[in-house]
């Protein structure tokens, strides 16, 4: 049984013993002073300001004192807790300032360090050239057509009037697929896209077909086994060679500038009749205008004209093969190699540069849109 309150001697409540309160405060202040960072201070706070800290215990004891003793004990403990609170606040701001300073140093960013440069890629000039030509024709209302690179022999040759024994069939050195009787080849030209389109669509037909083609050539300055062609085909009522010339002129102006124009020479292609070879006026020496000095022109070799590619009026036989009545419709077609056009236009020295895939080559021609 506990003693009555009147006999209670505060000095006997050890937690409230002035020496103990002072010691607890001194302990706590030392711990606060010794806290080296904010985490440390947090631990110190729990130990010396928390519910179970000596000063909190002392504070709790005050309630049990007789009224006469409460005031003095309350003042003593209150002052001690106040001093400790101030010490915590002061230490807290010192440690926060230190932390902020450390962050500024540790997380410093040296904006003068050269950055790792990741170069954006460049579209290949072949792609850009094809795209420019396609865009121009699309702008005139033509449509883009595509066909597979692995093509049936029938579409690549037979339907284009290059029958099995046709001598021109041997002219295009063909990659055949195993087994040879699979009837498949890597297309040697984009002309089969003409056939595919005519078989699928009713005239009028106006298509432009860019794409890869394959021939068994070794890679050298002027040849590559994989190259690109662009093919145009128009089938409508009343189309004549005048329309063909107009389309060819539009084509070379897009490709080589507004000052050029075409001339045509007789040639032979099984799928066109009549067939022509198209030349265009040299965009460097402008041929006729500077006839006198054309001999020096390295681009055209002095003739004033540069060979563009094949063209002609679509052979009636080809129209019939595709189910189009040649007495109602007529049409023209032309096709050419993009690499050659690009080499001419930009003075690219050899085919190697074109196929090596060095980004610096692509970057020379601009990144493209």
- Where does this chain bind ligand DAH (CB under 6 A)? 189, 191, 231, 269, 272, 309-312, 333-335
DSSP 161-184: T--TT-GGGGTS---BPSSGGG-E
* Contact assessment for residue 254 and residue 263, using Cβ atoms and an 8 Å cutoff: no
> What are the two backbone dihedrals, phi and then psi, of residue 277, each rounded to the nearest 5 degrees?
-105, 135
How far apart are alpha carbons 70 and 118 in whole angstroms?
A: 75
* Contact assessment for residue 208 and residue 143, using Cβ atoms and an 8 Å cutoff: yes
Q: Which is nearer to ligand DAH, 262 or 311 (CB)?
A: 311
Q: Which is nearer to ligand DAH, 58 or 314 (CB)?
A: 314
Q: Which is nearer to ligand DAH, 251 or 334 (CB)?
A: 334
Please, which residues have CB within 8 angstroms of residue 90's CB and are 6 or more apart in sequence? none
Q: Which is nearer to ligand DAH, 210 or 312 (CB)?
A: 312
Burial class of residue 287, CB neighbours in 10 A (0-12, 13-18, 19+): buried
Single out the residue of 121, 119, 128, 118 nearest to residue 354, CA to CA.
Answer: 128
CB of 178 to ligand DAH, least distance (A): 24
Q: Which is nearer to ligand DAH, 53 or 191 (CB)?
A: 191
CB of 260 to ligand DAH, least distance (A): 20
CB of 342 to ligand DAH, least distance (A): 17
CB of 188 to ligand DAH, least distance (A): 7
CB of 112 to ligand DAH, least distance (A): 57
> What are the two backbone dihedrals, phi and then psi, of residue 308, each rounded to the nearest 5 degrees?
-100, -55
First vs last C-alpha separation in the chain: 97
Q: Which is nearer to ligand DAH, 174 or 189 (CB)?
A: 189
According to DSSP, residue 215 is labeled -
* Contact assessment for residue 196 and residue 144, using Cβ atoms and an 8 Å cutoff: no
Q: Which is nearer to ligand DAH, 28 or 244 (CB)?
A: 244
Q: Which is nearer to ligand DAH, 189 or 362 (CB)?
A: 189
Q: Which is nearer to ligand DAH, 147 or 335 (CB)?
A: 335
DSSP 101-149: HHHHHHT---TTSPPPP-PPP---HHHHHHHHHHHHHHHTT-EE----S
Single out the residue of 135, 134, 131, 149 nearest to residue 212, CA to CA.
Answer: 149
For helices 338-346 and 241-256, the axis angle rounded to 10 degrees is: 50
């Amino acid at each position: 049984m506990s003693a009555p309150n009147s006999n209670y001697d505060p000095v006997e409540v050890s937690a409230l013993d002035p020496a103990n309160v002072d010691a607890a405060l001194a302990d706590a202040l030392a711990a606060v002073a010794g806290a080296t960072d904010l985490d440390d201070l947090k631990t110190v706070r729990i130990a010396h300001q928390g519910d179970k800290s000596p000063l909190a215990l002392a504070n709790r004891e005050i309630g049990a004192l007789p009224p006469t003793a409460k005031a003095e004990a309350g003042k003593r403990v209150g002052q001690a807790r106040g001093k400790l609170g101030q010490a915590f606040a002061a230490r807290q701001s010192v440690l926060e300032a230190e932390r902020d300073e450390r962050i500024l140093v540790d997380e410093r960013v040296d904006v003068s360090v050269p950055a790792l440069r990741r170069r954006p890629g460049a579209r290949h000039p072949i792609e850009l050239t094809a795209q420019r030509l396609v865009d121009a024709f699309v702008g005139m209302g033509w449509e883009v057509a595509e066909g597979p690179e692995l093509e049936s022999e029938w579409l690549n040759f037979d339907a284009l009037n290059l029958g099995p024994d046709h001598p021109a069939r041997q002219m295009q050195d063909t990659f055949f697929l195993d087994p040879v009787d699979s009837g498949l080849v890597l297309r040697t030209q984009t002309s089969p896209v003409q056939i595919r389109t005519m078989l699928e669509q009713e005239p009028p037909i106006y298509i432009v077909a860019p794409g890869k083609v394959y021939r068994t050539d070794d890679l050298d300055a002027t040849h590559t086994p994989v190259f690109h062609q662009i093919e145009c085909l128009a089938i409508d009522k009343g189309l004549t060679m005048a329309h063909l010339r107009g389309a060819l002129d539009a084509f070379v102006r897009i490709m080589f500038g507004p000052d050029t124009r075409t001339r045509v020479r007789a040639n032979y292609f099984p799928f066109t009749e009549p067939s022509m070879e198209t030349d265009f006026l040299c965009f460097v020496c402008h041929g006729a205008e500077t006839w006198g000095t054309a001999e020096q022109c390295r681009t055209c070799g002095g003739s004033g004209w540069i060979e563009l590619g094949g063209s002609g009026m679509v052979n009636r036989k080809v129209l019939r093969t595709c189910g189009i009545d040649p007495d109602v419709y007529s049409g023209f077609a032309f096709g050419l190699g993009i690499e050659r056009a690009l080499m001419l236009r930009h003075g690219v020295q050899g085919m190697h540069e074109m196929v090596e895939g060095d980004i610096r080559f692509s970057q020379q021609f601009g990144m493209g849109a």
